[in-house]
């Protein structure tokens, strides 16, 4: 209960300091250009000081630090878990933006030749001359050698 009382006293002091700063600027510095900017800066400093005081007094920074640490740890775990998917997605965006690979092109990859039937965010699908469907992860295009034979003849 006393912490709440001190917090309220702190807010009252902040409002009081703002009113005094406003009065001084209005009476003494009213002809000065930019006095509103000065008042705004004073208000920002008073507010930041108040937030720092209340955050320290009520332990809000401890909560924020715990939340930031938890979010960071979760981001690392998710990044490790989705590493291959993220690598494929980034490679997929690169393939979409590249004019070198298109649907209908023939590619040779690991001694298998196929015709590209679909460009997706994480994979490229193709079909061989034997009718087998091939799925190639996009990151393979940036890590290994792939021969591309553009489709001939335009329809």
What confidence tens digit (pLDDT) does each residue in 76-113 have? Answer: 998 888 888 888 888 888 888 888 888 999 999 888 89
Domains: count for the chain: 2
Is pLDDT larger for residue 3 or for residue 106? 106
Q: Is residue 31 part of a domain?
A: yes
Highest mean pLDDT among 2-6, 24-28, 87-91: 87-91
Contacts of 54 by beta carbon, 8 Å cutoff, 6+ apart: 7, 10, 60
Is pLDDT larger for residue 151 or for residue 120? 120
Q: How would you list the strands of the sheet with 147-149, edge to edge?
A: 133-137, 123-128, 112-119, 106-109, 147-149
Could you tell me the residue range of the domain that residue 42 belongs to? 2-59
- The CA-based angle 149-117-98, given to 5 degrees, is 60
Tokens, residue 74: 């979760």
State the Cα–Cα distance between residues 50 and 59, nearest whole angstrom: 14
**Pair 53, 12 in one domain:** yes
**Pair 52, 97 in one domain:** no
**Pair 50, 105 in one domain:** no
111: left (phi over 0), alpha (psi -120 to 50) or beta: left
Q: Is the pLDDT of residue 141 over 80?
A: yes
**Pair 94, 135 in one domain:** yes
Q: Is the pLDDT of residue 66 over 90?
A: no
Q: Is residue 10 part of a domain?
A: yes
Q: Is residue 66 part of a domain?
A: no
Q: Is the pLDDT of residue 154 over 60?
A: no
Among the candidates 24, 40, 59, a domain finishes at 59
Q: Is the pLDDT of residue 53 over 60?
A: yes
């Amino acid at each position: 209960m006393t912490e709440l009382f001190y917090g309220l006293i702190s807010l009252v002091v902040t409002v009081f300091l703002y009113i005094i700063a406003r009065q001084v600027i209005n009476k003494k510095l009213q002809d000065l250009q930019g006095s509103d900017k000065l008042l705004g800066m004073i208000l920002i400093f008073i507010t930041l000081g108040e937030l720092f005081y209340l955050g320290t007094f009520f332990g809000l920074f401890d909560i924020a630090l715990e939340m930031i640490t938890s979010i960071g740890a979760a981001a690392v775990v998710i990044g490790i878990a989705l590493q291959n998917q993220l690598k494929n997605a980034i490679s997929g965006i690169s393939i979409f933006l590249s004019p070198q690979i298109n649907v209908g092109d023939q590619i040779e990859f690991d001694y298998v030749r196929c015709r590209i039937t679909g460009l997706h965010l994480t994979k490229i699908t193709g079909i061989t001359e034997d009718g087998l469907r091939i799925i190639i992860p996009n990151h393979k295009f940036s890590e290994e050698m792939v021969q591309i034979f553009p489709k001939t003849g335009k329809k």
